[in-house]
Amino acid sequence: MSYTVVNKDELENSGSTSEFEGYLHGDTDVSFILVDMQPGRDPVGETSATPTRTSTGCAFSGKIELLARQMEADAVFHVECPACLAVREIHPKGDSVMFSWHIKRVTTTPHHGKRWVRRGNIWELAD
């Protein structure tokens, strides 16, 4: 077995890294990279105190014309968004039913199970 000592200055340098390629040093089958950096996190971009939404939101949200007692009587709490067809589980508070802000659905997977859907101006159950 033979050993070769290589000075770090002989390696290909790129900022805080040094690269050893074996074929350049006596036909060695080994390559590696040395990283010489202080511990910590690299800055990735500007940060702000308030997070911003990067996803595209659906235009439909707010109070819907579905009565809480209808939902409770049928024991169905899944509601389909009439704009993007996303399904959300909603538990009414008081008499009003609110469909909250949500990310716009982009898939076309069919829905299964009972849910409330809006057909025209009327909310009805669908399977």
Q: What is the mean pLDDT of residues 57-67?
A: 90
pTM: 0.55
Sheet holding 122-126, edge to edge: 87-89, 78-80, 115-119, 122-126
> Closest by alpha carbon to 37, among 18, 63, 60, 61?
18
Looking at per-residue confidence, does 68 or 30 come out higher?
A: 68
Q: What is the mean pLDDT of residues 57-77?
A: 91
Q: Domain locations in the chain?
A: 7-38, 62-126
pLDDT tens-place string over residues 20-57? 887 777 767 788 888 887 777 766 766 655 556 556 78
Whether the pLDDT of residue 87 is over 60: the answer is yes
Question: Other C-beta atoms within 10 Å of 64: how many?
Answer: 19
